[in-house]
Structure 1
Amino acid sequence: MSGYIGEFISLLFLAVALGLDAFSICLGLGMQRLRLKRIAIIGMVIGAFHIVMPSIGIFLGKVISGQIGHWTELAGGVLLFVIGAQMFFSAFSHEKQRVIQPIGAGLLLLAFSVSMDSFSVGLSLGISGVKTALALGLFGLISMFISWAGMLLGRKVRGVLGIYSEILGGSILIGFGIRLIFG
């Protein structure tokens, strides 16, 4: 019995660690003018990707990861950098249109980029033989709730900081994009 509790607690901590990247990025996104419905959708999609990506990792194995892992991180980094730069510079513009919005393909790319580390974790989970359904469920739920928390906190900070929140949010996204690009 204590073995199951220990495994659950370990997986819970791992799920929180995987969700922290999403939290930071969603904090920046929340500083945009997002409606609560959009926040809910973004969180659910990120949660779904935190289930799908480790599932793929579990089944693909390390050989494929070594060949494509760098390119997917690079693409995710470029996407975050572009969204952040656009958000940063829109703070100085009188136009309030965003080039990339977290809807459609932009949302899928965002969710993909923040769940890349869960793909790598999936590779190692497949080897270690943990309870796959429990791990995937925790990854999805925790990352969804953490994403919501980040966007709601970002939304609140936006109200306090006003226009400077776009600069701060854009800077956060640019920083994470650079981190992914240059590793």
Structure 2
Amino acid sequence: MGELLSIFIMSLAIGMDAFSVSLGLGMQKIRLKRIALIGIVIGLFHMIMPSLGIIAGTLISTKTGGWTTLAGGLLLFGIGAHMLFSAFNHEVNKVIQTTGIGLIIFALSVSMDSFSVGLGLGLSGAKTVLIILSFGAASMVLTWAGMLIGRKVHGFLGVYSEIVGGSILCGFGLFIIF
């Protein structure tokens, strides 16, 4: 039960970047059908990228032995720290294209950190299918929530959600290390 709770909380942390970006995107007067499609695409990318990371991490861990758990914890902590620092270094965002290749690039950029998290989890030997489904579902729902809230609220939560997500990843990284 504790592991399921950990996976759930980590999934929320991974989806926080999609949530924060979606808050701003939701302020662009996007139709509900488009919001649904964007959430699904981001959810799929949040399943593909950590899958690739877990595969790479598993391959690395079979070759390198026992220190991989430490490396996975350090990687999660580093990603969380990066999220925390980037929350305080916001530049003005350009308008994001939500159609065609623009949507693919957007989803890829939002899910790039989940590859690194998947790599760290692959190094530590986590439950692959459950994590991938959880990451995809959480990021999809958080994207939808961010876009819908962004339609109502104008920009106030974005930085705070990245800080929360980064703090959670740092905490999980420290938990794995110690």
Assess same fold via TM > 0.5. Answer: yes
Deviations 1:76-117 (A, max 9, x none): x9xx968x23x4xxxxxxxxxxxx521111111111111111
Structure 2 counterparts to residues 1-16 of structure 1, below 5 A: 5-16=1-12
Structure 2 counterparts to residues 3-152 of structure 1, below 5 A: 5-61=1-57, 84-85=93-94, 87=95, 100-152=96-148
Residues in 1 aligned to 2:119 and 2:126: alpha-carbon distance in whole angstroms? 12
Residues in 2 aligned to 1:101 and 1:19: alpha-carbon distance in whole angstroms? 20
Amino acid at match of 1:121: V
What residue ranges of structure 1 are gaps of 5+ in the alignment?
Answer: 64-76, 88-99, 158-164, 177-183
Of all paired residues, the percent bearing the same amino acid is 55
**Which residue number in structure 2 is paired with residue 66 of structure 1?**
none
Matched length:
132
Residues in 1 aligned to 2:112 and 2:97: alpha-carbon distance in whole angstroms? 20
Residues in 1 aligned to 2:119 and 2:91: alpha-carbon distance in whole angstroms? 27
Residues in 1 aligned to 2:120 and 2:56: alpha-carbon distance in whole angstroms? 11
Residues in 2 aligned to 1:34 and 1:140: alpha-carbon distance in whole angstroms? 22
Amino acid at match of 1:147: T
- The CA RMSD measured in Å over matched residues stands at 2.8
CA contact 2:19–2:142 (8 Å) conserved in 1: yes
**1:60, CA displacement in angstroms?**
2.5
What residue ranges of structure 2 are gaps of 5+ in the alignment?
Answer: 61-85, 163-178
CA contact 2:11–2:139 (8 Å) conserved in 1: yes
Runs of 4+, deviation exceeding 3 Å:
none
CA contact 2:56–2:122 (8 Å) conserved in 1: no
**Which residue number in structure 2 is paired with residue 180 of structure 1?**
none
SS in 1 for 2:28: coil
Residues in 2 aligned to 1:29 and 1:148: alpha-carbon distance in whole angstroms? 11
Which is greater in Rg? Answer: 1
